[in-house]
Each structure stands twice: as C-alpha cells, then as structure tokens.
Amino acid sequence: MICRITRDKIDTPALLEAVKHPEAGAVLAFEGIARNNSLGRRVLYLVYDAYPEMAEKKLRQIGEEIAAKWGITRLAMVHRIGRLEISEASLVIALASAHRADGFAACRYALERIKAILPVWKKEVWENGEEWIEGKDFAPFDQEAALKR
Amino acid sequence: MICRITRDKIDTPALLEAVKHPEAGAVLAFEGIARNNSLGRRVLYLVYDAYPEMAEKKLRQIGEEIAAKWGITRLAMVHRIGRLEISEASLVIALASAHRADGFAACRYALERIKAILPVWKKEVWENGEEWIEGKDFAPFDQEAALKR
Amino acid sequence: MRVTVKFFAALREVVGSRELQLQLDDGSTVASLLERLSREYPRLGALCQAAAPTVNQEYSSLGAELHEGDEVVFIPPVSGGCDDL
Amino acid sequence: MRVTVKFFAALREVVGSRELQLQLDDGSTVASLLERLSREYPRLGALCQAAAPTVNQEYSSLGAELHEGDEVVFIPPVSGGCDDL
C-alpha cells in the first residue's frame, strides 16, 4: 500500500504498474486534476497545503478500511501539495482488484473518504486575487463515527 | 473520442493524456488485465479475437450513449486482440469529466456495455489445453432494447 | 442472392475458414441460413444455439430476412473486457 | 503544561506563523485553548468556528482535555482530492 503526500509531480503510470498484480483482473486509476475555472472565475494555478503527518496517517487509515471492506491491498493514494499548474494531478488513486465491481466501489470510497477527512487544503489563485477554498464534502466526524459502527 | 481495436500493446498513459482537458476535474482509467488464473487453472497466456469492423462500430455506439447520458466526450476505449501475456491489458477505458460522480458512472457503464455487446472473444491457453471462454455478461438483445426505450 | 458469412473464435476453428460466400434462395432468413450451415458443419449448430446473429454488423434475429450482399456473423457469448469471471 | 499548536492554509496566514508553543493551565480543554487564541488573534475565532479540532493527529472535540506535549491543529473544511466543486 502506497500512502504519500508529495511536492513532486505524481507519476500515475508508475502507480498503475506498482499496484498491478497477475491475480488481479481489474486496475483502476482516478486522477483529480487542477481545473482552469472555478465558479465562473479563470484560475491561474492552485496551491495545496497539507498537515502532512496527519494526512499520511489518514491515508493509511483509509487504506485499512478498504482492505477490511473489500480485501483490496494493491492500493496507492498520493496527494500532491505546493503549486500546481492547470491540468496537473492533485490526487491519484490507483488500485488492482480481482473483480471490477469491488474495484469501482473501493476507488470511489477512497475518493469520498479523502474529500471528507484528509487535512489538505486548496488555494485558488486568479488574476485579481486568491482564496483558500472550503470543501463542501468535509465531514470528519459523522462519517468517521458512521464507518466505525 | 477514441474507439479502437488493436493488436498492439495499449499505451494507457497516452490515453490518459489524450482525454485530459483543462476544464475536467476528474480523470478515470480502467484496465482489464490478463490474469494468471481462471477457475483454479493456471493460465499461460490469452488470445483475443474480434469482429473488428463491428467492434469499432459498437465502441462508437457506446461512446454516443455516454455523450448523450452524461455529456462526456473526452473518452477513449481500446480493446486489444491477438496474443496477450499475463498482466497485459486487454481493455483500457479512459475518460475525463467535470464531476467525479459522472466519471465513475460513465466508466462503469462503458465497461458493462463492452462486456455485454462487444464482439470480442477470449481464448485461455493452459498447460494442457485451451478453450474459447463464453462471457457470462453477454446480453446483446435485452440490454440494447432496454437502453433504446 | 449471394451473402457473406464470416466466422470468428470457436466458430472459425469448427468451420475451418474465415469466410464463406453462399448462394441462397430469395426470401431466405437467418434461420434458414443457419439450418444450411448446420447440415454442412454438424458441430456448428450446437455452437450457434447460444450465439447472437448479426446482419451487416448489427444484432439481428433468426427470423430476419436476408438480402443480396448481406454480411452475416454468428456471435457466441462474448468475453471481452476485463478478466474477472 | 505545554502544548504545540500548528497552523495550516488560511489559519497560517491569519496567525502569521506555522507553530506556537503555549503554556496552559492543567485541565485546559480544546475550547479554552481556542478562546485564548481568539483573544490573541481576533480573526482566528471566526475561521475556527467551522474547523474541526485535532489532537495528536486524530479528530477530537472542543470538550477534550489537553495534556502535556499534545499537538493541536484546527482543520478548516478540507478541499483535497479532485477539483470538481
């Protein structure tokens, strides 16, 4: 399992290769991409910040949840921080599973959990200003409690 | 939209780059991989055959369905035929979408439709024999009719 | 009339060729073509039971009438895509 | 007792530093720490209303008691992952 916060460009092909396994029939990759627009404003670039020790710990926790729910352990979750240009990937999730339905469910779960609990923040920089964006999917308490029930 | 039947190794990273778009926040890739085992038998390699003209036509049809349902047009679907070694990709689906939920739904839809209607066949080659495998998800009539309703 | 029948995968191995050009009576259907093929290639009949007939690269039915120049392919259950059976 | 408070993103810009070492009374809670920070950094209070407190890298609550050496971070709504808001 690869759980990493990095300042470097994320190498998605390398992560796909890393999770691949001769017993797994399905490989999935998700990339979250820096968009050139946000609510009608033209975005020049993004800056991500993280609480890195906690973020890697939370990625490992999400990985353990996925292993417990679906038995999927060929999993990589990498979040990039620092300055990102438009079209660069901020987040990559890659996994291999024996069955496609499990793979899709686990990949989506990883993404939703990351959006809900990972201490990572995004600042949008426009031509005339900048702002730290508040994620609408943040839900560290309810979801954590619900999942432990 | 890229719809292709090929004898060459599929270049997933190139397809990811091809669908990427500065207005799309989510990129997804699915790889179907040649597994080393099937129903307890050790598989040496696979041979895929296709009815290529019809298969490319059906891929385009699936692409049009996805464009109509989700407005997603940054889409690549490539199926490889010929001899595949273990861990090589037989099928790659890559797409970019503005919203992650649509991206996951469309990627899964593409995969299920491909398994249901694409005229592509797999032969497993073991140490002591070989067999053309009948897909359990084949459903060209019901599903085509249901989707046109 | 003249139709082309193409064979893939298991069917190609049973028939031993990729393609046949056949002369059929006017009014022939997919079902009557299949009957003729099953007489000439006894093992083909069983394989085609589970197969979906296609005419000119669209899924069709046994009752469909054939016309001059049609391309017919019998599609056994496909197994494309990912390898997670 | 001594605790460390770390600041990220918008909070770091408001406080103007990455980290503070604070001496607190025994029995202090996350809430009393937040009250003190809000007095010293008036703009911080509003930002922390929507924030989730964490103690030693686990999500916590305002009522939680603090202990010697604890690391406290207030997490404003996170926006990690994909960019599809």
Q: A5-19: per-residue pLDDT in tens?
A: 999 999 999 999 999
Range of the domain at D22: 2-75
Give CA–CA dist A126/C44, Å, rounded.
67
Residue of B nearest to A32 (CA): B26
Does A144 have pLDDT greater than 70?
no
Q: What is the mean pLDDT of residues A103-107?
A: 97
Sign of the CA dihedral with C70 first, then C73, C74, and C80 last = negative
C71 found inside a domain: yes
Strands (E), D25-78: 52-55, 58-59, 71-75
Q: How many CB atoms lie within 10 A of CB D40?
A: 10
State the DSSP string of C11-78.
HHHHHSSSEEEEE--TT-BHHHHHHHHHHHSHHHHHHHHTPEEEETTEE--TTPBP-TT-EEEEE---
Q: What's the gap between Cα A17 and its chain centre? A: 18
Element holding A108 (H helix, E strand): helix A100-117
Counting as contact any 3 or more CB pairs under 8 A, the partners of B are A, C, D
Q: What is the mean pLDDT of residues A132-146?
A: 73
CB contact under 8 A, D82 and B98: no
The two three-digit tokens of residue B79, written as one number: 């199926």
| Contact with chain C for residue A100, Cβ under 8 A | yes
Contacts (Cβ under 8 Å, ≥6 apart) of D65:
D27, D28, D29
Residue of A nearest to D79 (CA): A135
Q: Given C9, C52, C77, which is nearest B49 (Cβ)?
A: C9
The most distant pair of C-alpha atoms in chain A lies apart, rounded to whole Å, by 52
Least confident of A24-38, A99-113, B69-83, C70-84: C70-84
Burial of A80-91, coded b for 16+ CB within 10 Å and e otherwise, reads bbeebebbbbbb
Tell me which chain B residues have a C-beta less than 8 angstroms from the C-beta of A108: 104
Q: What is the pairing mode between strands C52-55 and C71-75? A: antiparallel
Contact between A55 and A5 under an 8 Å Cβ cutoff? The reply is: yes
Contact between B109 and C53 under an 8 Å Cβ cutoff? The reply is: no
Q: What is the mean pLDDT of residues A118-145?
A: 84
pLDDT at residue B134, as a whole number? 80
Contact between D55 and D71 under an 8 Å Cβ cutoff? The reply is: yes
pLDDT tens digits for range C16-56 = 999 999 999 999 999 999 999 999 998 888 888 778 999 99
| Contact with chain D for residue B99, Cβ under 8 A | yes
Tell me which chain C residues have a C-beta less than 8 angstroms from the C-beta of B49: 8-9, 12
Q: How many CB atoms lie within 10 A of CB D73?
A: 23
C84 found inside a domain: no
First to last CA, chain A: 25
pLDDT at residue D82, as a whole number? 66
pLDDT at residue B149, as a whole number? 46
Give CA–CA dist D78/A118, Å, rounded.
7
C19 found inside a domain: yes
pLDDT at residue D83, as a whole number? 63
Give CA–CA dist C38/C46, Å, rounded.
8
CB contact under 8 A, B99 and D84: yes
Interface test with B, best of A35, A37, A97, A112 (most B CBs within 10 A): A35
The two three-digit tokens of residue A125, written as one number: 């920089």
Least confident of A118-122, A133-137, B140-144: B140-144
Does D84 have pLDDT greater than 90?
no
- Give me the residue label for tokens 């990351």: A114
Domains and CATH numbers, chain B: 2-126 (3.90.1170.40)
**A7: helix, strand or coil:** coil
First to last CA, chain C: 42
C80 found inside a domain: no
**pTM of the predicted model over 0.90:** yes
D81 found inside a domain: no
Give CA–CA dist B48/B118, Å, rounded.
12
Contacts (Cβ under 8 Å, ≥6 apart) of D49:
none
Nearest chain B CA: its distance from A105 CA (Å):
9
Reference B114, options B65, B59, B48, B57; nearest CA is: B59
D85 found inside a domain: no
- At residue B102 the predicted structure's pLDDT band, cuts being 50, 70 and 90, is very high
Element holding D4 (H helix, E strand): strand D2-6
Contact between B56 and B4 under an 8 Å Cβ cutoff? The reply is: yes
| Contact with chain D for residue A41, Cβ under 8 A | no
D83 found inside a domain: no
pLDDT tens digits for range B9-29 = 999 999 999 999 999 999 999
C49 found inside a domain: yes
Count of the separate structural domains present in chain C: 1
Q: Given B31, B54, B135, which is nearest C77 (Cβ)?
A: B135
CB contact under 8 A, A32 and D76: no
Give CA–CA dist A88/A116, Å, rounded.
22
Reference A72, options A111, A116, A26, A113; nearest CA is: A26
Contact between A118 and D57 under an 8 Å Cβ cutoff? The reply is: no
Any idea what the CATH number is for the domain that residue C30 is in? Answer: 3.10.20.30
Give me the total of CB pairs closer than 8 Å, taking one residue from chain B and one from chain C.
105
The conformation of residue A53, written as its DSSP 8-state character, comes to: H
- Give me the residue label for tokens 């496909």: C78
- Looking at every residue in chain D, the average pLDDT score rounds to 90
The two three-digit tokens of residue A21, written as one number: 């396994």
**Spatial strand order in the sheet of C71-75:** C19-23, C2-6, C71-75, C52-55, C58-59
pLDDT at residue D50, as a whole number? 79
ipTM score here?
0.91
Does B116 have pLDDT greater than 60?
yes
Tell me which chain A residues have a C-beta less than 8 angstroms from the C-beta of C84: 25-26, 97-100
Element holding A97 (H helix, E strand): strand A89-97
